[in-house]
Amino acid sequence: MDIHNGRFTAHSDKPLVLFLIGMRLNNLLAISKWWPVAIAIPPMLHELQQNKDSGFLWQRTWISGRNIMGMQYWDSFEKLLAYAQDREGKHFPAWGAFNRAVGNDGAVGIWHETYLVEPGKSESIYVNMPRFGLGAAADHVPAQGRMAQAQTRMQGTDS
C-alpha cells in the first residue's frame, strides 16, 4: 500500500453507501455452526472484487474477540440489494444455508447496518495514510483550501 504523505480527504459528487456487516461467535464451541459462515465470506468478497459492475467499491475486515466486522463502500443501495438478492451469486445460497443450519439457535449472531453518505454530509481526514475507508471508495484529494478544515469539508465543495 502506498502511503500518501500529507493531509488528504475524501470527495464524491454522488451519494455512496457505507455497509457494515458482521458476525459474532456466541458459542465458541459450536464450530460446526460458525465455521461455514466464516468461510463463506472470502468467496463473496472475491466475487464482488472481480465484478466491476457490482457497485462494490472497497472493503476491510476486522476481527476483535468474538466479532468479525466488514466495512464496505458501495456506489448505490440498489446495487447492494441486487447483490444480496442475486440467486446466481455467492451471497444468496450462503444466506439460505445460514438460515437452515443456524436460524435462531443463538450459536452465531449476524448483523448489518447501512448508511447513505451524501455529498457534503460527511467529512474525513487521512494524514500519512494509504487510501482507506471513504478515501479509498471516493476521490482522494489533498486537504487544502476549503477542504483543510472539518467544518468546510462537512459543507462540501459546492456550499
For the stretch 38-61, pLDDT in tens is 999 999 999 999 999 999 999 999
pLDDT number for residue 127: 92
* pLDDT surpassing 50 at residue 95: yes
* pLDDT surpassing 90 at residue 159: no
Confidence of residue 156 (pLDDT cuts 50, 70, 90): low
Q: What angle do CA 44, 48, 54 make, to 5 degrees?
A: 135
β-sheet bridge partners, residue 21: 70, 112
**Position 84, amino acid:** A
Contacts of residue 20, defined as CB under 8 A and 6 or more positions apart, other chains included, come to: 69, 70, 71, 72, 112, 113, 114, 115
> Tens of pLDDT along 97-146?
888 888 889 999 999 999 999 998 889 999 999 899 999 999 899 999 88
Q: Which domain holds residue 31?
A: 1-159
The rounded distance, in Å, linking the Cα atoms of 138 and 122 is: 12
Total structural domains within the chain: 1
The rounded distance, in Å, linking the Cα atoms of 68 and 84 is: 19
CATH number at residue 10: 3.30.70.100
Q: Which residue has the cell 460458525?
A: 34
Confidence of residue 157 (pLDDT cuts 50, 70, 90): low
pLDDT number for residue 102: 87
pLDDT number for residue 128: 94
User: Cα dihedral angle (143, 147, 151, 153), rounded to 10 degrees?
Assistant: -100
Nearest alpha-carbon partner for 35 in 85, 79, 101, 115: 101
Percent of the chain residues past pLDDT 90, beyond the cut: 75
pLDDT number for residue 120: 85
